[in-house]
Chains A and B, each alone.
Chain A
Amino acid sequence: MHNLDALKSEILASFEAAVDIPALEAARVAALGKKGRLTALMKGLGELGPEERKATGQALNRIKGELTDALDARRNALAGSVLDARLTSEMIDVTLPIRPETEGRVHPISQVLDEMAAIFGDMGFTVIEGPDIEDDFHNFTALNIPPEHPARQMHDTFYFPEREDGSRLLLRTHTSPVQIRTMKAGGPPYRIVAPGRTYRCDYDITHTPMFHQIEGLVVDEHTHMGHLKGCLIDFAKTFFELPDLPVRFRPSYFPFTEPSAEMDIGCERKDGVLFIGKGADWMEILGCGMVNPRVLEMAGVDPKRYQGFAFGLGVERSAMLKYGIPDLRTFYDADARWLSHYGFSAGDVPSLVGGLTQ
C-alpha cells in the first residue's frame, strides 16, 4: 500500500508538471494508458489471492478515480490558460476610428414643409401643387391685382420674353395662383394648402430671387374670420410647440382678401438672439384675410353663397424663427457645413402623434 501512495504522488506530480494539453495527454498515457503504470498494476490483480485482490483492487480503483479527477482539473486549467493566451493575442485598439461613413441631412425647407403638411393635414387640409411658370391671369388679374399695380412692373416680377400675341409668362411671385387653379378645377368646399417655390426680382440680406411659400385656402358656406383666427392660432402654437404662444392680428391690406390681416407672434430679443414666445416684441409671421368676393367670382365660385379665408406663409422665415437660422441667403448655398448644422436626419419624420420635432 505504501508503494501505491508513492505511485499516486508521482503520477499526480507528472500531471502537475505538464505545461500544455499534449504534455498532459502524454502523462495520462504513461499512467492510465493501455501500457500505463496504474493499468499495469490493475492487470496484475489477477495474480493475487482473493483477499488481497479485493483490497488492492479497491485501492487501485480509488486511486484511479482520484487521478481521473486530477486529470480533468488539470486539463480544464490548461484549456483556460490557452483561451486566455488567445484572447490576449487577439486584442485590438478599440479607440481606432470606425470605417468611413457620412451622415446625410434633410434640408430645413423640406423638414419645415413636412411639419406644416403634418399640422394642416391634421386639420383636414389637402396638399396641392401648382406650376412655377404662371400667366398674368392666375398670378395677378384673378387675384384682383390690377394691371397698374406696382407688383406687375419689371422690378418685382421675373418675366419671360413677350410672345406673338403680346402676352408674357412670368415666374409666380406668390403661391396664391394655386388658389385660383384649385377653384377653377372644381367646386367648393375647399380646404387646401399649396407649398412651393416663388420668385421675386430682389436680392439683398433679407430677400432672395427664389424662396418658398405655403398658401392656404378654406372656402365653404360658413367659414368666417373667427375660423381664420382659430386655424392660424392653432397652427402657430403647434408649429412652434408653444401652447401659450402670444399672437395678435393686425388689419392690413392685400388685393385678394377683404378684410385683410397680418399675424404676429410674441418674441423677445436677448443679447442679439431671438426667442419665440412671451416677450416684449412682436414678429410678423404671415398675411391672411377673408377671400375677396371678386377673387371668388373670377375663379367661378358664387360669392353670394361661398366665403372663406386665405393665408400665405414664408417657409424659410418660419424655419429661421423656429430653428434660429440667422441668414436667409445661406439656405441656397448647399454648404456641407451648414447642411450638417441646420439639416435634419433621415429618420426625423415630423408627425403630430410621434412628435413634430425630435
Chain B
Amino acid sequence: MKFTLSWLREYLETNVSVDALSECMTAIGLEVESVVDPAKILAPFTIAYVIEAVQHPNADKLRVCTVDTGDGTVQVVCGAPNARTGMKGVFATIGTTIPGTGVKLKSTKIRGVASNGMLCSEREMGISEDHEGIIDLPEDAPVGEPFASYIGIDDPLFDIAITPNRADCLGVYGIARDLAAASVGTLKELDLSPIPGTFKSPLDVRFDFKPHSADACPLFVGRYIKGVKNGPSPKWMQDRLLSVGLRPISALVDMTNFLTIDLNRPVHVFDADKIEGNHLWLKTGCAGAKFLALNGKEYVLDGEMTTIGDANGVLSLAGVMGGESSGCTEETVNVFIEIALFDPVRTAATGRKLNLDSDARHRFERGVDPAFAKPGIEAATRLVQEMCGGEASELVVTGQAPDWKREIAFRPSRLLSLGGVDIGELDCKTILTKLGFNSHEITSDHLTVLPPSWRGDIVGEPDIVEELLRIHGFDNIPAVSLPPVAIRTNSAIELAPRRMSWARRALAARGMSEAVTWSFMSAAHASHFGGVADSLILANPISSDLDVMRPSILPNLALACLRNTDRGYPNVALFEAGPQYSSDGADGQHRIVAGMRAGQAVGRNLYSAARNVDAFDVKADALAALKATGAPVTSLQIKSEAAVWYHPGRSGTLSLGPNLLGQFGELHPGVLTALNIDFPLAAFEIFIDAIPLPKKKAGHTRPAMKTSDFPVVERDFAFIVDADLPAEKLVRSAQGADKTLITNVSVFDLYDGEGVGDDKKSLAIAVRLEPRDRTLTDAEIDAVAQKLVDNVKKVTGGELRG
C-alpha cells in the first residue's frame, strides 16, 4: 500500500517527522517496507544566484561562474550552454553526492581554473531525464533555500505491508485513524453528509440469486448522475494518483481509483447510456458467458462467479473488474455509480480462477467496511459533481448490510496475564475509543467492547488484548526469560534423531560430506529404486522431474555425484540423513542414512595404486554408521540379498535375523545406464527405525573388562573350500572351535588360481588365541588347531591346504 505524506496529512493533523511516523507505523503493525523522502535526498541542493558567468580562459565550452549560494560566494566551472550572468539555478556544494551520477563532489581544478561545487541539471538531480542545461529558476526564487521544497517535490512516499487481517488499513483514511490512535496526530473529520437526490434513478437493481448464492451480494447502493462532463481530472487528483504510481485516465475513472485508495472503498461507474433496458441484475450461474474486461482481455466465466448485467448480458465481474462495453469515456454524459458489498470468498475464487487481480478484488476478498456503502456513495457523488458537474438521483438501495455488530467480553486483567504488561484502565479506554471501539463497564473487572464496523477481524478477547498492546507498543512489554524447568535426567531429543546425528558425524569423520536433497524426485528415476505408490505422486509438482516422493535417497545422491563429476569433481563421497517414503500412511515415512561414493576410492598417488570405489568401501561406511548408532554390529548377518538397484554379485544386506538394518554394494549397471552415469558408484542405505532399542535394564554400567597377561598365540591356516563359500561361514566355523580361547579370526588371503582346483578357492586366516589362566603348551595349541580344522571341515567341507 503506497501513499504520500501530504495525502496522509489530508486526514491526520501531525507535525512529527517522517522517520517518527515510519517507526510508529511499523510499531503498530503497519510495516513500512520503504520510505522515499526526496527532501532528504535533495537536502544539499539549494537555490543560488549566478553573479557573473564569464568565458573559461582555456576551454570554449566552459564558463567560470561566480555564485552567491546565500551562504557566501563560490567559483564554479560550468559546462552548461545556458549558464549565464544573473540567472538563478540549483547549487550543490563540495561533499554532496549527485543522485543522478552517484559522484561525490570534490574541490577541483578544471583546465586550470578552480571549481568548488556544481550547478545542476534535472538529470543530475535524479528528478527527470532533462540534461539540456542547468536548471533555470524564476528570478524571484529565494537564494539559499532548499530547492526541493521550493518546487514542491518534497513529498515522502511510504510503502507499507498490510497484513491480511487489517483490511481497514487498505485506505489512507484507515491508516490515519490507526496513527491517531497511537497519538502521533489528530484524525480529521470526513464530510460524508448526504447529497439529496433530485430525481428517481431511471435504472434500478435486481438480485437474481439462487438460494445457495444469496449471500454473494448482501447490499448494492447505486446512484444515477445525469449531465456529467467527463475529461481529464484536475491537477490535484492527477498528482495524487501519479504520486502512488497510478496513471490518470479521466475524471470519472480517476474518481474510482482515488476513492479505492483514499477511503478504501471500491466503486464502479457505468456509462448509463450503454446499459440496455432499465435495470441491472446481479446473479451467479453465467457459466460459459464471455466477458471483455476493462483490461482489454476476454474471460470465460463459470457458474459460481457473481456477475452484473443488463438486457444484453454480462457487464461486470462483481468485485473484480468492470467491463469494456459499459465503461466511461470522454463522451459519457450519464453515469450509474455502484457501491456494493461482495462476498469475500466468492470474489477471491473468481479472481483466482481467472488469474485476474485488481485493487477492488484485493479489498473485497479481505472484507470491506459493511457500514460504509452509503457514506461511500456520498463521497463518490461529491467527487463526481466537483469534477464533472451533473445532477444526482435518489439512492437505489437493494438488499441490506449484514449485521456486523457484536459484543466482546474483555477483562482488563488479561493485559497483564496474557500480554505481560499492565496498561491503566483509563489508557485502555482512550486507545479503544480512538480506534473506534465502544466499551462499557459491566463489573469492576469486566468490560463489554463493541468493535467498529471496519474491524471484522476483531472476534475475541485476545484480539482486544492485541489492539491495546500494539498501540501501547510491543517494545513496552518487559521481556521475561522462561522460568527453568526441573532438572533433565534424559536427552531432550528422541533416540531415532540422535542416532541419525551420531551416524552423520561418524560418516563426516570418515571423509563423507553431508548432502540435503529434495524429498521428491522424478517418477522415472524412482522406478529404478522400487517405484512409488500412486498415493505418493504429487498432484501439483513444481516440475516433472520432482513429481513423486522419493522411495530411496540414492537416486538424488547419484544425480548429485553426476553434477559434481560434470563440474570436474568426480571422486565425491556424499551421504544424506533424511526421510524416504513407502506409503502415505502413518508408518510410511522412514528415517534413512544413505551414502554414496563415486569414481576413485584412491586417486593417483605416490604410495599406492589408484583404484575405483567398490562394495567394501561402502560396507565399511555402513558398518561404521551402524556402529555409531549403537547397533550390535558384531552380531550382524551379511547376506548377498540386497535390493534390485544394487549389482547382484557385488552387494549385501546387514541384518539381525529377519530385521534388515542396511544394505550396501555397487550400483546395478542397468541402473547406472538409466541414470546416464558412466562412472563407478557404490552406495549404502541404513534403516534407522529398524535398529533395535537398547536394553533398558542394562543401564550405563559396562561389563567388567577381562584381560590376560599370558602369552598370546597367533596361528595361520589356509583352507581349500568351494568357490562359492562365503568367507564369513569359514570365519564363524573357525571361531566356533573354541569360543573362549579364540578371540579373533581374520581373513588375510584369498587365492583361486592354479593348484587349488576348479570351483575351489583357498582362504587363509589368522587365528588369535588368548589364554586366560595359564601359558599354553605346544600340545594344547595343537589340540585347538586340530579342533579348528575339524570344525571347519565339518561346517564348510574345507580341507587344510597342504
* Contacts from A to B (Cβ < 8 Å): 96-97, 99-107, 109-110, 114, 117, 120-121, 123-129, 131-133, 148, 150, 153-154, 158-163, 168-169, 171, 191, 197, 199, 201-203, 209-210, 218, 222-231, 233-234, 248-253, 258-262, 290, 292-293, 307, 331-337, 339-340, 343, 345-347, 349
Contact in complex: A107, B497 (CB < 8 Å): no
Interchain CA distance A187-B482 in the complex, whole Å: 20
Shortest beta-carbon distance, B455 to chain A, in Å?
13
Within 8 A of A (CB), among B410-433: 416-421
The interface bits of chain B over 355-367 (1 if a CB of A lies within 8 angstroms of the residue's CB, else 0) are: 0000000000000
Shortest beta-carbon distance, A322 to chain B, in Å?
17
Cβ-defined partner of B508 (8 Å) among A99, A218, A345 = A345
Given A133-B549, A332-B516, A336-B564, A160-B475 contact (CB < 8 Å): no
B726 CB within 8 Å of chain A: no
A-B contact pairs, 6 of them (CB 8 A): A150-B352, A202-B542, A234-B482, A248-B475, A252-B31, A290-B418
Contact in complex: B480, A229 (CB < 8 Å): yes
Interchain CA distance A105-B517 in the complex, whole Å: 15
Contact in complex: B484, A124 (CB < 8 Å): yes
Shortest beta-carbon distance, B647 to chain A, in Å?
23
B111 CB within 8 Å of chain A: no
Given A127-B492, A169-B584, A100-B602 contact (CB < 8 Å): yes
Contact in complex: A110, B514 (CB < 8 Å): yes
Within 8 A of A (CB), among B564-623: 564, 567, 569, 572-574, 577-579, 581, 584, 586, 588-589, 602-603, 605-608
Neighbouring B residues of A251 by C-beta, 8 Å: 27-29, 466, 469-470, 474
Contact in complex: A336, B465 (CB < 8 Å): no
Interchain CA distance A133-B493 in the complex, whole Å: 21
Within 8 A of A (CB), among B511-547: 511-520, 534-543, 546
Interchain CA distance A345-B512 in the complex, whole Å: 11
Interchain CA distance A260-B542 in the complex, whole Å: 31
Cβ-defined partner of A131 (8 Å) among B539, B541, B589, B602 = B589
Neighbouring A residues of B488 by C-beta, 8 Å: 121, 124
**Binding stretch for chain A, among B163-171, B200-208, B280-288, B708-716:** B163-171
Interchain CA distance A215-B497 in the complex, whole Å: 16
Cβ-defined partner of A132 (8 Å) among B345, B515, B517, B519 = B519
Interchain CA distance A250-B27 in the complex, whole Å: 6
Cβ-defined partner of B517 (8 Å) among A163, A202, A334 = A334
Contact in complex: A210, B519 (CB < 8 Å): yes
Cβ-defined partner of A226 (8 Å) among B420, B460, B513, B546 = B420
Interchain CA distance A197-B581 in the complex, whole Å: 13
**Binding stretch for chain A, among B231-239, B322-330, B499-507, B693-701:** B499-507
Given A100-B602, A251-B474, A261-B474, A197-B417 contact (CB < 8 Å): no
Neighbouring B residues of A106 by C-beta, 8 Å: 504-505, 508, 514
Cβ-defined partner of B537 (8 Å) among A100, A132, A161 = A161
| A120 nearest CB neighbor, chain B only | B492
| B343 nearest CB neighbor, chain A only | A148
Contact in complex: B466, A129 (CB < 8 Å): no
Contact in complex: B537, A160 (CB < 8 Å): yes
B463 CB within 8 Å of chain A: yes
Given A104-B508, A126-B492, A158-B541 contact (CB < 8 Å): yes
Neighbouring B residues of A129 by C-beta, 8 Å: 494, 496-497
Neighbouring A residues of B578 by C-beta, 8 Å: 197
Contact in complex: A197, B492 (CB < 8 Å): no
Contact in complex: A307, B418 (CB < 8 Å): yes
Interchain CA distance A337-B560 in the complex, whole Å: 12
Contact in complex: A148, B477 (CB < 8 Å): no
Cβ-defined partner of B421 (8 Å) among A161, A168, A218, A226 = A226
B478 CB within 8 Å of chain A: yes
B290 CB within 8 Å of chain A: no
Contact in complex: B563, A333 (CB < 8 Å): yes
B26 CB within 8 Å of chain A: yes
Contact in complex: A253, B164 (CB < 8 Å): yes
Neighbouring A residues of B606 by C-beta, 8 Å: 96-97
B557 CB within 8 Å of chain A: yes
Neighbouring A residues of B504 by C-beta, 8 Å: 106, 110
Known: A148-B344, A168-B539. 14 other contacts (CB 8 A): A105-B513, A107-B515, A110-B514, A129-B497, A132-B519, A160-B535, A169-B584, A209-B542, A223-B482, A233-B479, A249-B474, A335-B567, A336-B569, A339-B515
Contact in complex: A148, B348 (CB < 8 Å): yes
Shortest beta-carbon distance, A33 to chain B, in Å?
42
Cβ-defined partner of A253 (8 Å) among B28, B163, B569 = B163
Contact in complex: B540, A109 (CB < 8 Å): no
| B607 nearest CB neighbor, chain A only | A99
Interchain CA distance A94-B185 in the complex, whole Å: 78
Neighbouring A residues of B589 by C-beta, 8 Å: 131-133
Contact in complex: B516, A107 (CB < 8 Å): yes
Given A160-B537, A260-B466, A334-B563 contact (CB < 8 Å): yes
Interchain CA distance A234-B481 in the complex, whole Å: 7
Interchain CA distance A129-B163 in the complex, whole Å: 30
Interchain CA distance A311-B537 in the complex, whole Å: 31
Neighbouring B residues of A258 by C-beta, 8 Å: 460, 462-463, 465-466
Neighbouring A residues of B465 by C-beta, 8 Å: 258-259
Neighbouring B residues of A109 by C-beta, 8 Å: 516
Shortest beta-carbon distance, B541 to chain A, in Å?
7
Shortest beta-carbon distance, B775 to chain A, in Å?
38
Neighbouring B residues of A203 by C-beta, 8 Å: 542-543
Interchain CA distance A104-B419 in the complex, whole Å: 48
Contact in complex: B512, A209 (CB < 8 Å): no
Contact in complex: B352, A153 (CB < 8 Å): yes
Contact in complex: A159, B534 (CB < 8 Å): no
Interchain CA distance A333-B479 in the complex, whole Å: 40
B16 CB within 8 Å of chain A: no
Interchain CA distance A251-B25 in the complex, whole Å: 10
Cβ-defined partner of B501 (8 Å) among A100, A114, A226, A253 = A114
Most chain A C-beta atoms within 10 Å of own C-beta, residue among B165, B514, B569, B573:
B514
Given A104-B513, A133-B549, A251-B470, A97-B518 contact (CB < 8 Å): no
Interchain CA distance A133-B572 in the complex, whole Å: 31
B729 CB within 8 Å of chain A: no
Neighbouring A residues of B466 by C-beta, 8 Å: 251, 258-260
Cβ-defined partner of A105 (8 Å) among B508, B520, B540, B588 = B508
Given A168-B539, A293-B462, A346-B508, A110-B577 contact (CB < 8 Å): yes
Given A168-B539, A197-B579, A251-B474, A104-B511 contact (CB < 8 Å): yes
| A192 nearest CB neighbor, chain B only | B492
Given A110-B504, A260-B466, A230-B518 contact (CB < 8 Å): no
| A209 nearest CB neighbor, chain B only | B542
Q: Which 3 A-B pairs have the closest CB atoms?
A: A226-B420, A251-B29, A259-B466
Shortest beta-carbon distance, A211 to chain B, in Å?
10
Neighbouring A residues of B497 by C-beta, 8 Å: 127, 129
B509 CB within 8 Å of chain A: yes
Interchain CA distance A100-B603 in the complex, whole Å: 7
Interchain CA distance A307-B538 in the complex, whole Å: 37
Contact in complex: A334, B482 (CB < 8 Å): no
Interchain CA distance A169-B583 in the complex, whole Å: 12
Interchain CA distance A335-B572 in the complex, whole Å: 10
Contact in complex: A259, B539 (CB < 8 Å): no
Shortest beta-carbon distance, B63 to chain A, in Å?
38
Contact in complex: A332, B540 (CB < 8 Å): no
Neighbouring A residues of B470 by C-beta, 8 Å: 251, 259
Most chain B C-beta atoms within 10 Å of own C-beta, residue among A160, A199, A332:
A160
Interchain CA distance A252-B165 in the complex, whole Å: 9
Contact in complex: A230, B480 (CB < 8 Å): yes
Contact in complex: B511, A226 (CB < 8 Å): no
Interchain CA distance A169-B549 in the complex, whole Å: 13
Interchain CA distance A337-B574 in the complex, whole Å: 12
| A148 nearest CB neighbor, chain B only | B345
B442 CB within 8 Å of chain A: no
Neighbouring A residues of B519 by C-beta, 8 Å: 132, 171, 197, 199, 210
